[in-house]
Structure 1
Amino acid sequence: MQQRLALLEETLHREVPLTRTMGVRVEEHDGRELLFLADFEPNINIHGTAFGGSLYSICAVVCWGMLHLKFEDEGVPAHSVLGDARITYSLPVRGEIKARCRLPDDGSYETFIESLRAGKRSRLELTAEILVGEKVAVRFVGSYSAAV
């Protein structure tokens, strides 16, 4: 699994070079949840907290990374793009950035994959969270479109 996560990190740094500058690291994946870490220093704003644009970007790529891994798991040669998103900033982030994306439990992921397997363009809403300790500091909800 570690090799697979390292390959995802390499892909991110190659395809989205900003992720390298931001210090994004692929940390854990259990099939239903993906965890990224990112360095604080390159993502700091004038207030000494993590920059909102950086947090948005990290959320967008952790969701993209989840789909990338799931397409591999499912043997579906799909590509995804973010079509729409909304974000809520509830708490300041003042240290290492911890972002997670979990697959939805409502059956929408399974429907999404079935549509892709049938050769249809499909859309899935994914949620990412930035955590400060055990508290959710940022919640991102993105609508990802995919096609084979």
Structure 2
Amino acid sequence: MHGTTPPSYDVPASHLADLQQVLERDIPMCAQMAIEVVDYTAGGLAVAMPLELNRNHQQTAFAGSLNALCTIAGWGTMYLVLRRLELQGTIVIRRSSIKYHRPVATSRVSARCLPIDPQSEQHFAEMYLEKGQAKLDLVVEIPGDDNPAVYFAGSYVVTRP
């Protein structure tokens, strides 16, 4: 385990491909919504979905789809954290809140989970190793013009298998 190592944004392409496969296989809604893993950079994990499959009657993104996309961005971040730390566990969302500031009408809707600070990640790893369970609070944003169109905060818990 590399719990003392700061987060690395050099995630192998194979980890992103694995995450995409896990989403499509284990969370069927992701395939139906055509959620795609885009990248993982210093800015965090980005996922996207087409508006066409996730729109409402006003031709903007359906609120439930936006919530699901944000939830998946956080879940995927946790998946990559576990891979980087060489840990295994069951990831669940404990609670979340979402604020819809403005409609989203881009043809491809993107959400980005903001980076985890190294101290929080280290505390997560220590708690997991000590107690077999740990949580991380994550923030996901869907961009707007100047400010996020959607702001999501989720608390994710990982338990030993």
Q: Does 1:2 align with 2:17?
A: no
1:93 to 93, 104, 123: 104
Among 40, 46, 56, the alignment partner of 2:67 is 56
Task: Give, in angstroms, the shift of residue 106 of structure 1.
Answer: 7.3
- Are the counterparts in 1 of residues 114 and 141 from structure 2 also a CA contact under 8 Å? no
How many residues are matched?
148
Superposed CA RMSD in Å reads 1.7
Question: Conserved in 2, the CA contact under 8 Å of 1:76 and 1:117?
Answer: no
CA contact (8 A) 1:103 1:109 kept: no
Aligned partner (choices 105, 127, 131) of residue 139 of structure 2: 127
Q: How does 1:42-81 map to 2 (within 5 A)?
A: 42-81=53-92
- Sort the Cα spacing of 1:79 and 1:103 in 2 relative to 1 into closer, same or farther, 3 A: farther
TM-score (norm 1): 0.92
Q: TM-score, normalised by structure 2?
A: 0.85
3-state DSSP of counterpart to 1:139: strand
Deviation readout 1:73-95 (Å, 9 max, x if unpaired): 10111221001110000011002
Once the 2 structures are TM-superposed, how far is the Cα of residue 133 of structure 1 from its aligned partner? Answer: 5.1
Partner of 2:5: none
Moved more, 120-129 or 45-54: 120-129
Instruction: Measure, in 1, the Cα distance between the counterparts of 2:17 and 2:119.
Output: 29
Amino acid at match of 1:19: C
Structure 2 residue matching 1:41: 3-state secondary structure: coil
In structure 1, runs of 5+ residues without a counterpart are none
Give the corresponding residue for 2:25. Answer: 14
Report what 2:121 is aligned to.
109
Say if 1:130 and 1:139, in contact at 8 Å, map to a contact too. Answer: yes
Letter in 2 for 1:108: S
Change (3 A) 1:60 1:133: same
1:124 deviation in Å? Answer: 1.5
Q: 1:4 to 1:105 in 2, by over 3 A?
A: closer
Q: Deviations over 1:81-129 (max 9, x none)?
A: 0011100000110021110002333722221111112243212111111
User: Could you tell me how far 1:47 is from its partner in structure 2?
Assistant: 1.3
Alpha-carbon shift at residue 66 of structure 1 (Å): 0.5
Contact 1:81 / 1:145 at 8 angstroms: preserved in 2? yes
